[in-house]
């Protein structure tokens, strides 16, 4: 049986390298039979060569597409999401803040818990049934994809046999048939033999295209194998998740729900007593704080003078600051007047000197 060589190809290797497929002796004999039946001069034989396998691959692709289309891919995931949503909704509704405080708090909470548990319990039961149904369907899918994968391997083997037979026939044509016909045509110069040689060349080219088409079909089959496994692995993973939910999550949640209800019953009286104690302590605490604050305020107002010492200090500081600023302004005024008097004296002297100089100049001119 031919097996697929799926060794990864390095990026530096030749990407056009042919797929290596080992054959058994029995398969090699079958390849020889296929090759011997090939009639390159028959257009019908060339066209029909391997077409049966190609048709099987086409039907096989349609079958896979049908499986993917009819498969409810999101059904199981939606059920698991609904399960999580129901549990979250239960927690939110149970733990939401009540409108009536103190005595009604625990009572309302316990009532909400019972109501929510009854509602969610029905939903959980329906979800369990749906999960079991999805689990069975996924198990069937895994079995179907095992069969599809095996059929894909068989198609790959069958196509490889036809391709090997075609390549051997092409090798024989290029190495033996065409050289012989060319030599005979050149030796005899017979027009019929020349035309026969040209026709054979065209037949070989057409058959090469046919073998190439078979290789393309085999590549489609080659790519389909990992796709089948990916879909199958997804289904298997989802089966594991569903199984975990059925045997772990749901029973665990139910057990915790029973414990929650039991704890709620035992805490009901304690919650009521705690509310009374807290209210009493809060009332005493507030009264004590109010009495303390009122007494201190009264004592402060009683001991307070008509005018606060801080006010007197502030007024005294303002008076002293005002006097100091006035004195500073007066000192600055005296300094400025002295400067002005000096400047006036300097200006007067400069004027006298200029007048005397002007008079002396007039005498010299005369």
What does the pLDDT look like over 328-366, one tens digit per residue? 998 888 888 888 888 888 888 888 888 888 777 766 666
Q: Which domain holds residue 343?
A: 309-366
What does the pLDDT look like over 159-173, one tens digit per residue? 888 888 888 888 988
Q: What is the mean pLDDT of residues 221-233?
A: 84
Q: Kindly state whether residues 273 and 336 are assigned to the same domain.
A: no
Q: What is the dihedral of CA 74, 79, 81, 87, to 10 degrees?
A: 180
Whether residue 258 has pLDDT greater than 60:
yes
Q: Kindly state whether residues 59 and 130 are assigned to the same domain.
A: yes
User: Within a domain: residue 4?
Assistant: no
- CA 196, distance to chain mean position in Å, is 64
Q: What is the mean pLDDT of residues 26-52?
A: 79
What does the pLDDT look like over 279-330, one tens digit per residue? 888 888 888 888 888 888 877 777 666 667 788 788 888 888 888 898 899 8
Q: What is the mean pLDDT of residues 117-122?
A: 65
DSSP codes joined into one string, 162-184: HHHHHHHHHHHIIIIIHHHHHHH
Q: Kindly state whether residues 111 and 171 are assigned to the same domain.
A: yes
Q: Kindly state whether residues 98 and 190 are assigned to the same domain.
A: yes
Q: Kindly state whether residues 179 and 243 are assigned to the same domain.
A: yes
DSSP classification of residue 40: T
User: Within a domain: residue 80?
Assistant: yes
What does the pLDDT look like over 62-79, one tens digit per residue? 766 676 555 554 555 565
Q: Kindly state whether residues 337 and 240 are assigned to the same domain.
A: no
151: confidence class by pLDDT, cuts 50, 70, 90: confident
């Amino acid at each position: 049986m031919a097996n697929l060589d799926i060794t990864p190809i390095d990026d530096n290797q030749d990407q056009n390298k042919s797929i290596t497929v080992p054959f058994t002796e029995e398969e090699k004999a079958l390849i020889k039979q296929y090759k011997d039946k090939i009639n390159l001069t028959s257009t019908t034989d060339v066209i029909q060569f391997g077409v049966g396998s190609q048709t099987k691959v086409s039907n096989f692709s349609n079958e896979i597409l049908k499986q993917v289309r009819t498969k409810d891919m999101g059904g199981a995931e939606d059920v698991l999401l609904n399960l999580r949503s129901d549990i979250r909704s239960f927690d939110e509704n149970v733990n939401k803040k009540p409108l009536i405080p103190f005595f009604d708090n625990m009572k309302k909470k316990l009532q909400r818990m019972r109501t929510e548990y009854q509602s969610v319990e029905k939903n959980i039961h329906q979800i369990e049934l749906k999960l079991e149904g999805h689990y069975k369907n996924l198990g069937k899918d895994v079995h179907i994809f095992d069969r599809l994968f095996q059929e894909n391997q068989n198609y790959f083997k069958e196509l490889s046999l036809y391709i090997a037979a075609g390549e051997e026939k092409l090798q024989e044509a290029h190495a033996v048939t065409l050289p012989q016909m060319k030599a005979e045509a050149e030796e005899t110069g017979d027009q019929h033999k020349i035309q026969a040689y040209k026709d054979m060349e065209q037949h070989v080219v057409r058959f090469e295209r046919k073998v190439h088409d078979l290789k393309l079909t085999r590549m489609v089959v080659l790519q389909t194998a990992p796709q089948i496994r990916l879909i199958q692995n997804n289904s298997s993973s989802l089966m594991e998740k569903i199984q975990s939910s059925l045997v772990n999550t749901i029973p665990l949640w139910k057990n915790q729900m029973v414990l929650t209800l039991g704890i709620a019953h035992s805490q009901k009286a304690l919650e009521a007593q705690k509310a009374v104690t807290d209210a009493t302590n809060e009332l005493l605490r507030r009264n004590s704080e109010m009495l303390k604050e009122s007494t201190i305020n009264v004592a402060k107002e009683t001991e307070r003078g008509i005018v606060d010492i801080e006010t007197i200090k502030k007024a005294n500081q303002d008076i002293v600051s005002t006097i100091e600023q006035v004195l500073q302004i007066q000192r600055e005024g005296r300094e400025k007047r002295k400067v002005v008097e000096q400047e006036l004296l300097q200006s007067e002297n400069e004027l006298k000197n200029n007048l005397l100089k002007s008079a002396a100049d007039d005498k010299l001119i005369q």
